[in-house]
Amino acid sequence: MIRSILVPLDGSSFGEHALPWAIGIARLAKAKLQLLHVHRPLEATYAEMQVFDATLDKQLRDREQAYLDAMIKKINETGGVSATAVSVDGEVAPSVCKHAASAGIDLIVMTTHARGPLGRFWLGSVTDQLLRETPKPLLVVHPKDTIADLHDHQPFEHILVPLDGTPLAEQILEPAGALAKLTGAQIKLIRVVQPVAPMNLPGGVGAFGEVAHHMMDRIDELHGELKSEARDYLEKVAERLRGQGLTVNTQVAVAEQPGVSILACAEAPIDLIALETHGRRGLSRLFLGSVADKVIRGAHVPVLVQQPVHK
């Protein structure tokens, strides 16, 4: 259940492109919407330059507060959403994580990068850090070069969820399912099977040719077994979701590069990708984690990510 949504802003028009999505979700979920700006005091930012005083810092705080007040006014004009704003001091990413935890935030929505008029930028490097650190679901939106239209919030209709066969990766199904229930979206589960690389054996006549032919037959069998196992796994997960009233279909893809395959499957009508940032750790880790960054940066649609809880 989504009851509270947080949108970190740095004062830029790029960062504001998270707002239409946050407003749309908040309206459907009847959730509270909170804007957050992290103020970095001038004496901390420019500690090596002893030229700033409290007056300059207060002027900056006033500008930041005026910006937040203006954004709240714009959100209120859209109707149907209860919005508040808060400013905190500190390093940006840790402050966002701490506030999200203390305020009971269920979803963070922000853009991948932005540059604000207040003298510095932080959305981008902060998004990368939050992807690694926040335990909260994070909806990442790519900004546009235009001014954000706060009335333009189309609901998600088709959600792509890559899985790697692990319970850790399946944890994304809870927030993805919550969004699907809100919007009536269909969920498409995909598992990417990496091909078995054939051994470089000589062909031709004789014993070597027979061995090579046998090896190729065996590789075909292995491919079939892997795809069948992946289909069975996805169908079991799909049935579980269908029992919750969700519409789910599945797809198995065979590809050398899982990230490329996921992005290829994210063409229209897919309008959201949802995945855990790490599926497995250490040497046994599969594509989730190593590919999540490529998917986030290469996707043309918003991406819902979450750090799995290792139980």
The pLDDT, as a whole number, for residue 116 is 45
pLDDT values of the chain reduced to their tens digit, one per residue, 311 residues = 899 999 999 888 888 999 999 999 999 999 999 999 999 876 555 545 455 567 888 888 999 999 999 999 999 999 899 999 999 999 888 999 999 999 999 999 998 864 444 333 444 577 778 887 888 999 999 888 788 999 888 889 999 999 999 898 999 999 999 999 999 999 999 999 988 765 455 555 455 566 666 677 777 778 788 899 999 999 999 999 999 999 999 999 988 888 999 999 999 999 999 998 864 443 334 444 567 878 888 899 999 999 888 76
- DSSP E strand stretches across the chain: 4-8, 32-39, 83-89, 107-111, 138-141, 158-162, 186-193, 248-254, 272-276, 303-306
Residues of the chain with CATH 3.40.50.620: 4-141, 158-306
The pLDDT, as a whole number, for residue 218 is 72
For domain 158-306, the question of CATH label 3.40.50.620 is answered with yes
The pLDDT, as a whole number, for residue 201 is 52
**Cα–Cα–Cα angle for 296, 8, 152, rounded to 5 degrees:** 70
The pLDDT, as a whole number, for residue 173 is 97
Within 10 angstroms of residue 89's Cβ, the number of other Cβ atoms is 11
d(CA 230, CA 191): 7
List CB contacts of 262: < 8 A, sequence separation 6 or more: 160, 162, 190, 192, 273, 275, 291, 295
Q: Is the pTM of this model over 0.75?
A: yes
Q: Which CATH number describes the domain made up of 4-141?
A: 3.40.50.620
Of the CA atoms within 13 Å of residue 257, those in its CB half-sphere come to 6
d(CA 127, CA 124): 5
The pLDDT, as a whole number, for residue 297 is 81
Closest CA to 306 of 295, 294, 292: 292
d(CA 219, CA 198): 7
Closest CA to 212 of 198, 196, 228, 231: 198
Q: Using H for helix, E for strand and C for coil, what is the string for 43-95?
A: HHHCCCCCCCCHHHHHHHHHHHHHHHHHHHHHHHHHCCCCEEEEEEECCHHHH
